[in-house]
């Protein structure tokens, strides 16, 4: 696949740092726990691309880095202050590997989502990226956006095309290379409606 997500993917990521929130974008705060100790450069690249994907759906993601332990918080309390004070944020945890009983479905072996929390299994993600000749950052961006999509769409949220397909195949990765693997307009509307409801009434 000739590392299909490297060229245009990273060019697009650079541009995301200058994106300005649209006037009608709906805010979404995400508390992120990097238990897998993903390198900062890899995580930052993936977060920037996920932000771009959600902005296309009219949602502005704010990442709130969270300490993985009391010791880590004690070393850099200012770095994690936003996470500690956050209310109503969804949670995304990047785990070194899956635990027994997690992600048993053939379509969910890279991650899992339930209620207000999503988990990404970095060992499996890295293997999938290597198998597809992609970078970990490019796959991490897609998986994080996909799992957060589950939290906002609720119920049966997989689709036959777009970023919410049950499994990323070659055709989806080629779309991602061009920056075109996105939420459908209907999914974007559902997510905005759900998040707006939460901002009004509180997370169910």
- Whole-number Å distance between alpha carbons of 119 and 94: 6
pLDDT tens digits, one per residue of 165-189 = 999 999 999 999 899 999 999 999 9
Q: What pLDDT is attached to residue 98?
A: 81
For the segment 86-129, what is each residue's pLDDT rounded down to a tens digit?
Answer: 888 999 999 998 875 554 444 467 888 877 899 999 999 999 99
The pTM of the full predicted model, rounded to 2 decimals, is 0.85
With cut-offs at 50, 70 and 90, classify the pLDDT of residue 4: very low
Sheet holding 26-34, edge to edge: 59-66, 26-34, 90-95, 117-121, 111-114
**According to the CATH classification, is domain 7-17+26-96+111-182 in 3.40.390?**
yes
Q: How much is the pLDDT for 10? A: 45
Given a cut of 50, whether residue 164 has pLDDT beyond it is yes
Q: What is the pLDDT of residue 108?
A: 60
Contacts with 70 (C-beta within 8 Å, 6 or more apart), sequence order: none
Q: Where are the domains of the chain?
A: 7-17+26-96+111-182
């Amino acid at each position: 696949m000739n590392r299909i997500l490297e060229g245009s993917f990273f060019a697009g990521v650079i541009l995301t740092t200058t994106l300005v929130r649209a006037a009608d974008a709906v805010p979404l705060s995400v508390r992120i726990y990097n238990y897998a100790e993903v390198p900062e450069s890899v995580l930052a690249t993936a977060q920037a691309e996920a932000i771009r994907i959600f902005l296309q759906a009219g949602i502005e993601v704010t990442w709130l880095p969270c300490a993985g332990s009391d010791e880590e918080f004690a070393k850099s309390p200012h770095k994690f202050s936003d996470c500690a004070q956050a209310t109503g944020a969804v949670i995304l945890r990047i785990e070194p590997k899956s635990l027994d009983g997690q992600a048993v479905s053939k379509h969910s072996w890279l991650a899992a989502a339930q209620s207000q929390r999503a988990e990404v299994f970095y060992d499996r993600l890295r293997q999938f990226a290597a198998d597809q000749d992609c970078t970990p950052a490019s796959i991490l961006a897609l998986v994080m956006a996909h799992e957060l999509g589950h939290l906002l769409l609720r119920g049966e949220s997989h689709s036959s095309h777009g970023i919410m397909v049950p499994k990323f195949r070659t055709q989806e990765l080629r779309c991602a290379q061009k920056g075109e693997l996105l939420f459908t307009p209907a999914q974007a509307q559902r997510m905005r409606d759900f998040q707006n409801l939460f901002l009004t009434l509180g997370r169910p």
